[in-house]
Amino acid sequence: MCGIVGVLGTHEVAPILVEALRRLEYRGYDSAGIATVNNGHLDRRRAVGKLVNLSDLLVHDPLAGKSGIGHTRWATHGAPTTDNAHPHKAGPVAVVHNGIIENFRDLRTELSAAGYSFVTETDTETVALLTQKHIDEGLSHVDAAFKTIDRLDGAFALVFLFDGQDDLMIAARKGSPLAIGHGDGEVYVGSDAIALAPLTNEITYLEEGDRAVLTRSSIEIRTAKGALANREMKTIQVESTQVDKGGYKHFMAKEIFEQPSVLSNALGHYLGEDDTVVLPGDNVDFSKVDRLTMVACGTAYYACFTAKYWFEKLARLPVEVDIASEFRYREPPIVKGTTALFVSQSGETADTLAALRYCKDKADRIVSVVNVPESSIARESDLALPIHAGVEVGVASTKAFTCQLNVLLMLALKAAQDRGTMTPDAIRDAIGQLRALPGILNAAMDRDRTLAAAALKLSESRDVLFLGRGLMYPLALEGALKLKEISYIHAEAYASGELKHGPIALIDKTVPVVVMAPKDSLFDKTVSNMQEVMARGGKVLLITDAAGAEIAGPDVWQTVIMPKVPEIISPLLYALPAQLLAYHTAAAKGTDVDQPRNLAKSVTVE
Ligand code: F6R
User: For 122, phi and psi rounded to 5 degrees?
Assistant: -90, 160
* Atom 8 (ligand 1) nearest CA: 397
d(CA 299, CA 39): 48
* Atom 16 (ligand 1) nearest CA: 344
Q: Does the domain made of 448-596 have the CATH classification 3.40.50.10490? A: yes
CATH tag, 242-422:
3.40.50.10490
Q: Which atom of ligand 1 is nearest to the CA of 482?
A: 7
Which residues are catalytically annotated? 2, 601
What is the 3 state secondary structure string of 67-88? EEEEEEECCCCCCCCCCCCCCE
Which of the 8 DSSP states describes residue 216? T
**25 and 51 Cβ atoms separated by less than 8 Å:** yes
Contacts of 15 (CB under 8 A, 6+ apart): none
Q: What is the pLDDT of residue 76?
A: 83
Pocket test for ligand 1, best of 597, 603, 606 (most atoms within 8 A of CB): 603
State in Å: Cα 31 to ligand 1 middle. 22
Helix, strand and coil in the chain, % to nearest 5: 40, 25, 35
* Atom 7 (ligand 1) nearest CA: 396
Q: What is the pLDDT of residue 280?
A: 86
State in Å: Cα 401 to ligand 1 middle. 9
Q: Which atom of ligand 1 is nearest to the CA of 296?
A: 16
State in Å: Cα 529 to ligand 1 middle. 30
**494 and 475 Cβ atoms separated by less than 8 Å:** no
Q: Does the domain made of 3-235 have the CATH classification 1.10.10.10? A: no
- Strand-pairing partners, residue 170, are 160, 213
State in Å: Cα 376 to ligand 1 middle. 15
- Domain extents for the chain? 3-235, 242-422, 448-596
Q: What is the pLDDT of residue 392?
A: 92
Cβ-based neighbour number of residue 52 at 10 Å: 14
* Atom 5 (ligand 1) nearest CA: 298
To the nearest 10°, report the CA torsion of 106, 108, 113, 114: 120
Q: What is the pLDDT of residue 240?
A: 61
pTM for this prediction: 0.85
Q: Which atom of ligand 1 is nearest to the CA of 299?
A: 10
Pocket test for ligand 1, best of 297, 595, 599 (most atoms within 8 A of CB): 297
Mean pLDDT by 10 residues, the chain (606 residues): 93 96 88 97 96 96 97 88 95 95 94 95 95 98 97 94 98 92 97 91 94 97 95 81 82 95 93 86 90 98 98 98 95 96 95 96 97 91 96 94 97 96 94 94 94 95 96 98 97 94 91 96 91 91 96 92 96 98 97 88 75
Q: CA separation (Å) from 293 to 318, 341, 343?
A: 9, 6, 11
State in Å: Cα 301 to ligand 1 middle. 8
Burial 414-446 (b: 16+ CB within 10 A, else e): bbbbbbebbeeeebeebbebbeebbebbeebee
Pocket test for ligand 1, best of 1, 299, 407 (most atoms within 8 A of CB): 299
Q: What is the pLDDT of residue 175?
A: 81
**3-235 and 242-422 share one fold:** no
State in Å: Cα 486 to ligand 1 middle. 13
Element (H, E) at 173: strand 165-174
Q: Which residues line ligand 1 (CB under 6 A)?
A: 297-300, 344-346, 349, 352, 396-397, 481, 485, 603
d(CA 351, CA 528): 39
Q: Which atom of ligand 1 is nearest to the CA of 345?
A: 14
DSSP readout, 466-477?
EEE-TTHHHHHH
Among candidate residues 385, 373, 382, the one with its CA nearest the CA of residue 347: 373
Q: Which atom of ligand 1 is nearest to the CA of 377?
A: 16
* Atom 3 (ligand 1) nearest CA: 298
d(CA 452, CA 437): 23
Pocket test for ligand 1, best of 322, 341, 346, 352 (most atoms within 8 A of CB): 346
Q: What is the pLDDT of residue 238?
A: 63
d(CA 353, CA 341): 11
State in Å: Cα 395 to ligand 1 middle. 8
Alpha carbon 529 to chain centroid, angstroms: 34
Q: CA separation (Å) from 129 to 59, 102, 109?
A: 30, 16, 12
Burial 182-199 (b: 16+ CB within 10 A, else e): bbeebbbbbbbbbbbbeb
Among candidate residues 550, 571, 572, 570, the one with its CA nearest the CA of residue 561: 550
